[in-house]
Chains A and B, each alone.
Chain A
Amino acid sequence: MSGLAEQVSEILERVGDDEVMEIYASVGTEVEVKVYDGRVESLSRATSGGLGVRVLGAGVAGSRVGVAWTGSLDGDAIDRAIAEARDNARYASEDEFMTFARPDGVESPGLELTDPSVHSTSLDDKVALAVAAERLVRGDARIRQVESADYSDYDVETVVASTYGVRAWTRRTGSFLSLEAIASDERGDQTGWGLQATRGPVALEPERVAQDAITRATRLLGAVKPPSMRTTVVFSPRSTATLLAIIGTALSGDAVVRGRSIFAGRLGAQVASREVSVLDDPTDARHFGASRYDAEGLACRRNVLIDQGRLAGFVYDTVSARRAATVSTGSAVRGGVAGYPSAGCRALALAAGTGDADTIVRAVGDGVYVDSLSGVHSGVNPISGDFSVGFTGFMIRGGELAEPLREATVASTLQRMLLDVVAVGSDVEWLPGIAAGQTIAIAGVSVGGR
């Protein structure tokens, strides 16, 4: 057992027999390097830890929950947080569905989410990864500038434990290499991101990150505004992953029971074209978001959400499941020690279809290819389904990518878009974040431009 798990167990042992308490604690180390023009511009190192505590108070019509958190694992800070949580619980509303997770007998998937190279790789070698990626990008004559090349990694342990007998411990490492290339010619500047996320630095490939950034930036040079039209839009794997993450918010059982999802009341209905099957599977280690336990300490599991277009299920945490008269799907997520559990997806993917990007673009014939999206947080409403976001990409003419596009929007509604999916590719890319992506095509999307 780790020191953190031991510390959390000791706290729970001190709790009285009649008190219900849950602790979510984490401790980790991190390194962050920014390189500019071949030199270290900044280097940060830190160890940090914190803890969130929830307590349940009994009431006539249900339980009251109180929460508090601290950014330190120091004894006094923890005692203070526990006292605050107890006091906060006095003021919360009694809620018949409020409770904490109880062990449900589902076994946690045996996933290895750490890579020892996070520690065995020297700081100099980590810096060298960023230096190498930057040098490759600057070596391309079309590239004018690289704002910074960044390397970062972490090693974090998380413990969830409760007086209900939950005991979950996870440790994960991650390393990231990223940079943004600025390409330039007489028509102006364009930018392109290269980014790779792995569990450890040995798996990072500076050449791939550099090439990705160069390609994305240079192929947009000379981009123009498209005419406004309604057409078939092909989404790149990265932009599909963004779309999928948005769909994932609406598939949260928490949003659904609150009536704040386009999917509320639609279980069993055909909500998407038959090409579309959506799975949330944190037990698949290929997903960066793979996890052994959810944020309430239950085992993560594979959940089928949309099956050949039919709405097959939602993801639930303990409380949203109770509100929906079902059981948790092991899908509690929370934004660190300061957050509260809610239901959410960690590892979304579309079931692979057939054909790669070239095949799909050829089949579409004429339309628009969306390479990357912007303004997603301001342009998508998961309650009404209204969808309107900025993009960069290309015209598709005669089955080929043609002139690059910028300063344009794609718009529809999430409901329409799901039903209008006409092709799903087999070219799955495993990306950082909560969703993988592949090339897909959606008919009847509005493009806003000139």
Chain B
Amino acid sequence: MRADLVDSDLIERVLRTALRRGGDFAEIFVEDRGSRAAVLDQRRVETLGSGHERGAGIRVIAGATTGFAHTADLSEAGLLSAAEAAATAVGERDGRVHEIALGATQRHRTEVGESPVSVDKERVIEQLRRADDVARGAAGSIAQVQVSVGGSTRRLLIANSNGLVVTDEQVRTRFAVACVAEGDGGMQTGYRPFGATGGYELLTDDLIDEAARAAARQAVTKLGARPAPSGDLPVVLAGGTGGILFHEACGHGLEADAVAKEASVYAGRRGERVASPLVTLVDDGTVAGEWGHVAVDDEGHAGTRTVLIENGVLVDYMWDYLRARSAGRGHSGNGRRQGYQYLPMVRMTNTFLLAGDSDAEEIVAQTPYGIYVAQLGGGQVNTTTGDFVFGATSAFLIEGGRITTPLRDCNLIGNGPTILQRVDAVAGDFSMGGPGTCGKNGQQVPVGTGQPTLRLSAVTVGGTAT
């Protein structure tokens, strides 16, 4: 076993220093992160890059005020100076002497066969080339292929004045294929990423081939696409594609920081019916292997499964340490941060809608006219009003209960609480979607989303055809 990033005597001294000027909670978050990324663009290995960073963030909480400082210097002098800076930021002087009694270290790690940051580089390049060949082989109209692979390892040590000491080693690996197809009507794009919390061994040839073919197919299909309609229409989201809908429509609004400040349309609505009875939504950091998996969150607390909405009724929000403490309740393992340079805040992990009873094909068959979304892009939400948008990067018209013409890229817009009521069919074909990156207040964290095929009775489609 490797030595811990910082030894326990020093941790105690740092936490004591952090609380020297007052405060009721201090924490040290130490991170050592390695990353590797390679891009094959038009058959050229253009960039093969490696990165490394390590440092510590020190936080002091005094009532409603948080002081924070970070440093890349893990020496005793560096850490004590950061602790002093965090203490000064809080700036009270209550004169109490804080005893720090650290408990036994709890150790976690992602079990991996091969680390994505040390895997043989020749092998990585072979896999990039393989994806390029498969994508080009899928159709003659594929003019450009860009394949990227990346991975990161994150060694963490988190300790706080409540005595908690936790270590974790998180490993993530991601692969993506982007294609451009060229036709008479111009260029169209296709994109397919996949990834997991785990090692490089997850990048099997089968998965790579599947992603390459899917990206190529998406671009080629859109060559024949016509402009999407505009206005309110029924929308069917294919299984595994639309978890981002719930991430935006209500996920962010169920984060306790927005709720506590009544900056969420879901504030104060626990126990109320907020969605169609077909909606049961869960945030679950415990799903091993999934992109948003956390053995422990970035405050050292175990990831948990939280039922947010059950049969349409709002059950609970997501919590970090600070928000749970002020509400006098337990946290839910949702305190996350991009890196040691950042304060943690309430974030989602893997957020998904549970399967229903309908049949996916039946749902389409029972839709006389509407839009079938085969892949969603990103989205954005205003948690206060609940208004959100999400992009469709692969969509089709549904006519007479059949999936027909491909449509050009468009955004869909809706209001969270309204859209949740409009879920009128949920199929049994649950699957998770691709690896997502969620941005909030300038911090990016990996998140998973998932959902079965479902229908929304009406969503505003932002196309150009009338």
On A, residues with C-beta under 8 Å from B are 36, 39-50, 65-74, 77, 80-81, 84-85, 87-93, 95, 144-145, 147-148, 180, 182, 188-191, 225, 228-230, 258-260, 338, 340, 374-375, 377-379, 381, 383-386, 388-390, 392, 406-413, 446-450
Contact = CB atoms under 8 A, between A and B. Distances in A.
Contact of A191 (B53, B188, B384): B384
Contacts of B384: 147, 180, 182, 189-191
Most buried by B among A46, A448, A449: A448
A390 B381 CA distance: 10
Contact of A88 (B44, B49, B261, B377): B49
A188 B231 contact: no
Contacts of B258: 147
Contact of A49 (B67, B72, B89, B186): B72
Given A42-B66, A375-B413, A91 B125 contact: yes
A374 B382 contact: yes
Given A190-B385, A450-B232, A260 B180 contact: yes
Given A69-B51, A91-B125, A407-B415, A379 B389 contact: yes
B460 A45 contact: no
Contacts, number: 256
A378 B378 contact: yes
A67 B35 CA distance: 12
Most buried by A among B52, B68, B460, B464: B464
For the complex, would chain B's binding face be called helix, strand, loop or mixed by DSSP majority? strand
A446 B466 contact: yes
Contact of B231 (A68, A375, A450): A450
B71 interface: yes
B343 interface: yes
B409 A384 contact: yes
B131 interface: no
A188 B418 CA distance: 14
Given A191-B384, A377-B378, A407 B72 contact: no
Given A45-B85, A388-B411, 16 more contacts: A39-B64, A42-B343, A45-B69, A46-B70, A70-B53, A91-B125, A258-B144, A260-B144, A374-B382, A375-B378, A375-B390, A388-B410, A388-B463, A412-B464, A446-B464, A449-B231
B122 interface: yes
B365 interface: no
B13 interface: no
Interface residues of B, number: 76
Interface string B20-51: 00000000000001000000011111111111
A54 B54 CA distance: 21
A259 B186 CA distance: 11
Contacts of A48: 55, 70-72, 341
Nearest to A337: B51
B387 A390 contact: yes
B387 A88 contact: no
Contacts of A148: 261
B302 interface: no
Contacts of A229: 466
B380 interface: yes
A313 B42 CA distance: 24
A233 to B, nearest CB: 13
B45 A91 contact: yes
Contacts of B343: 42, 44
B380 A378 contact: yes
A225 B122 CA distance: 55
16 contacts: A45-B68, A65-B47, A67-B48, A92-B46, A145-B261, A259-B143, A338-B51, A375-B391, A377-B378, A378-B377, A378-B380, A390-B411, A446-B463, A448-B413, A448-B461, A448-B463
A388 B228 contact: yes
Closest 5 CB pairs of A and B: A71-B53, A409-B462, A378-B391, A375-B389, A448-B230
Contacts of B33: 71
Contact of A70 (B52, B71, B89, B408): B52
A40 B65 contact: yes
A93 B44 contact: yes
Contact of B462 (A68, A377, A379): A379
A44 B70 CA distance: 8
Contact of A407 (B230, B263, B413): B413
Contacts of A66: 48-49
For the complex, would chain A's binding face be called helix, strand, loop or mixed by DSSP majority? strand
Contacts of B265: 189
Contacts of A91: 45, 48, 121-122, 125
Contacts of A407: 387, 413-415, 460
Contact of B44 (A70, A95, A388, A389): A95
Contacts of A39: 64-65
Interface string B407-448: 011110111000000000000000000000000000000000
Contacts of A44: 67-70, 89, 343
Nearest to A217: B384
A43 to B, nearest CB: 4
Given A39-B65, A48-B70, A375-B390, A92 B409 contact: no
B189 A384 contact: yes
Most buried by B among A46, A66, A69, A91: A46
B379 interface: yes
Most buried by B among A42, A385, A449: A42
Contacts of B189: 381, 383-384
B279 to A, nearest CB: 20
Contacts of B48: 66-67, 88-89, 91-92
B114 interface: no
A44 B262 CA distance: 24
B462 A43 contact: no
Contacts of B363: none
A92 B38 CA distance: 9
Contacts of B51: 68-71, 338
B187 interface: yes
Given A378-B390, A410-B462, A71 B52 contact: yes
Contact of B71 (A46, A95, A182, A384): A46
B188 A384 contact: yes
A228 B231 contact: yes
A88 B50 contact: yes
Contact of B410 (A72, A147, A385, A411): A411
A446 B89 contact: no
Contacts of B43: 93
Nearest to A230: B466
A386 B460 contact: no
A379 B460 contact: no
A46 B411 contact: no
A409 B222 CA distance: 21
A46 B85 CA distance: 9
Contacts of B53: 50, 70-72
Nearest to A97: B44
A306 B193 CA distance: 35
B411 A379 contact: yes
Contact of B408 (A71, A386, A448): A386
B45 to A, nearest CB: 4
Contacts of B389: 374-375, 378-379, 389-390, 409
A386 B410 CA distance: 7
B65 A145 contact: no
Nearest to B51: A69
Contacts of A43: 65-68, 89-90
Interface in B64-111: 64-73, 85, 89-90
A67 B49 contact: yes
Contacts of B390: 375, 378
A6 B222 CA distance: 53
Contact of A46 (B54, B341, B410): B341
A129 to B, nearest CB: 17
